[in-house]
Amino acid sequence: MKTISFPDLELSKELEKAITDLGFEEPTPIQALAIPMLIEGHDVIGQAHTGSGKTAAYGLPLLGKIDQNDRRVQALVMCPTRELAIQVSEELAKLGKYLPGIMIIPVYGGQPIERQLTALKKGVQVVIGTPGRIIDHLHRRSLDLSNVKVVVLDEADEMLDMGFRDDIGDILGRTPEKRQTVLFSATMAAPIMELAKKYQRTPKHVKVVHAQLTVPTIEQFYYEMREGDKIEALCRLLDRYNPKLSLVFSNTKRRVDEITSRLNSRGYAAEGLHGDMSQSQRERVMAKFRSGVTDILIATDVAARGLDIDDIEAVFNFDVPQDPEYYVHRIGRTARAGRSGRSFTFVSGKEVWKLRDIQRYANVRITPDFIPSDQDLEEQRTLQALTKIREAIEKEDLDNYRLRAQAMMGEEFTSLDLAAALLFMTDKARPKIDSPSQAPIPRDDEKRERNNRPPRRREAYKSPHPASNNRGGQRSSGQRDRRSYTH
Ligand code: AMP
């Protein structure tokens, strides 16, 4: 099946520009299915869960239908909760950012009604509200729905569960019969179908099928932290587990470049992969990753699709994926071909709610974990060094080296001195991370400003792609308290 791109959807240039600003690479499945139908004017009943991109699926066509010169209410979105009303209103505002003539307001219980009355009086074209507060405004005559072209019932199943059935009927009764009615619900139980039958005209059905998690050998961990600590955490986990190949996912192209450049400046061989790169550039990056020249690949969900590599030992979700389905696809990149794998998900602020959705949706358990402390990392390095030493003793012909070691020992050094110095030298060659602190970990750019010094331990890795090379390529050498890093 041909994948649909945003330009295929023929949205206005103002909407396209806003989509580009938001960093969306391509329409989500529900958007690819629903947007063309909605633009054509059909009623649509969509089965989609939170995180599927359903707001933009109905929001983009809705914004495209607004007449900016008409200050009457032209679109109404009903939501079960005030949180969702606010979220939808924020998302529509972002999508409509280049349509300054369109006024959007949320109306919900709990906010002083006066503020909403003033806004409504000035004239708004898009109202997003909870049924109770919409009814309230209708009774006060502060809301006139007689010119509404589009009505959306978002999370309709929730609204029915909350007992809004009659309110929904009353509200729809105040809108013109000749309107477009859009209904989104996570389930398609009988009451939803009744609602559709009653208020929609020959609706088109769209449904996004759930991906199944089929790789039970993946150990899945999550880490709660502040946004600014994510790079530090990534480096620590890379050092702790030392995966052969790692795939780091982020939600936008911009973030891919940012993470790549920050890892490069800390001496890691990382490269980015995203939709803005040419096909030949992408192939080159993938070939280097496949052969292990670069062992860390940072990608968006879309760009990683063409990647078919069996040796990925770790998947990092630098950002929690917007769509729970993406989580399943992402972590399915590891533990291929009967191997085991690990996934590490970084969670900050509100992302914790998305993580809950993911666990419910994918029916998986993601275990909370701690970012390794300095001590953990030291122990890990000793263990790795010992393994290498054992292998060398068992497998290599060391006769010549034994003679050289004997000559070096003489009277000046003991064998212990010699071994310790060699361990120190191997340790120094690693791309190390900064000493941890319980105080906020400064961002790289802040640290660069404070410590305008060249990298201490290793030449900064230069990506062949200028977008992922940072200007200075410097690392911090700031020495802070040696405390254990928790979060
Ligand atoms: P929703 O399912 O509408 O709650 O959307 C979940 C999140 O996905 C929101 O933060 C949107 O900004 C984001 N989103 C929507 N469409 C896309 C897209 N095509 N690509 C990437 N992210 C998207």
Q: Do domains 6-207 and 218-371 have the same CATH topology?
A: yes
pLDDT of residue 210: 60
Task: Name, in order, each residue with C-beta under 8 angstroms of 301's C-beta and a sequence gap of 6 or more.
Answer: 25, 249, 251, 321, 326, 329, 330
The pLDDT confidence band at residue 332, using thresholds 50, 70 and 90, is confident
Distance 31 CA to ligand 1 centre (A): 10
Q: 447, exposed or middle or buried, with CB in 10 Å at 0-12, 13-18, 19+?
A: middle
Residue 407 has pLDDT above 50, yes or no: yes
User: Which tens digits make up the pLDDT trace of 241-286?
Assistant: 889 899 999 998 889 999 999 999 888 999 999 888 888 888 899 8
**pLDDT, the chain, mean:** 82
Mean pLDDT of 415-442: 60
Residue 87 CA from chain centroid, whole number = 17
CATH number of this structure's domain 6-207: 3.40.50.300
Q: Is the pTM of this model over 0.75?
A: no
| Residue of 343 and 470 predicted with greater confidence | 343
Say if CB 460 and CB 267 are below 8 A apart: yes
- What number does the ligand 1 atom closest to the CA of 59 have? 3
| Residue among 326, 280, 324, 281 nearest 300 (CA) | 326
Between CA 61 and CA 181 the distance in angstroms is: 12
> Is the model's pLDDT at 82 over the cut of 90?
no
Residue 470 vs residue 226, higher pLDDT: 226
Q: Which residues contact 477 (CB under 8 A, 6 or more apart)?
A: 451, 453, 456
Alpha-carbon gap, residue 335 to 229, rounded angstroms? 27
Q: Are the C-beta atoms of residues 126 and 152 closer than 8 Å to each other?
A: no
**Which of 322, 323, 329 has the most ligand 1 atoms within 8 A of CB, as the residue to mutate?**
322
Domain ranges of the chain: 6-207, 218-371, 375-428
Q: Higher pLDDT residue, 268 or 475?
A: 268
Angle between helices 54-64 and 29-40 (to 10 degrees): 30
Q: Could you give the CA distance from residue 88 to residue 176 in angstroms, rounded to a whole number? A: 23
Nearest to 62, CA basis, from 89, 33, 92, 28: 92
Q: Which of 6, 55, 252, 254 to mutate to test the pocket of ligand 1 (most atoms within 8 A of CB)?
A: 55
Q: Are 107 and 79 contacting, i.e. CB atoms less than 8 angstroms apart?
A: no
* Alpha-helical segments (H) within 365-462: 374-395, 399-409, 415-428, 444-450
Whether 442 has a pLDDT exceeding 50, the answer reads no
CA of 28 to the centre of ligand 1 (A): 8
Instruction: From 215, 182, 171, select the one nearest 364 (Cα to Cα).
Output: 215
Single-letter amino acid code for the residue at 391: E
429-439: pLDDT as tens digits: 655 444 333 33
CA–centroid distance, 460 to ligand 1, in Å, is 35
Q: In this structure, are strands 104-107 and 150-153 parallel, antiparallel, or unpaired? A: unpaired
Q: With a cut of 50, say whether residue 328 has pLDDT above it.
A: yes
Q: What is the pLDDT of residue 221?
A: 95
Q: How far is it, in rounded angstroms, from Cα 472 to Cα 231?
A: 17
Confidence of residue 447 (pLDDT cuts 50, 70, 90): very low
CA of residue 25 to ligand 1 center, whole Å:
11
Closest by alpha carbon to 158, among 81, 52, 46, 44? Answer: 81
Structure confidence at residue 96 as a pLDDT band (50, 70, 90): very high
Please, which pLDDT band fits residue 236 given cuts at 50, 70 and 90? very high
Contact 341, 313 (CB under 8 A): yes
Residue 224 main-chain phi, psi, to 5 deg: -90, 135
Given a cut of 70, is residue 233 above it in pLDDT? yes
Q: Provide the CATH number for the domain formed by 218-371 in this structure.
A: 3.40.50.300
Strand, coil or helix: what is 315? strand
Instruction: Spell out the alpha helix ranges (H) of 67-130.
Output: 82-95, 113-122
Percent of the chain residues past pLDDT 90, beyond the cut: 47
Query: What's the rounded Cα separation, in Å, for the pair 91 and 52?
Result: 13
340 CA from centroid of ligand 1 (Å): 31
pLDDT exceeds cutoff 90 at 317: yes
pLDDT band at 445 (very low <50, low <70, confident <90, very high): very low
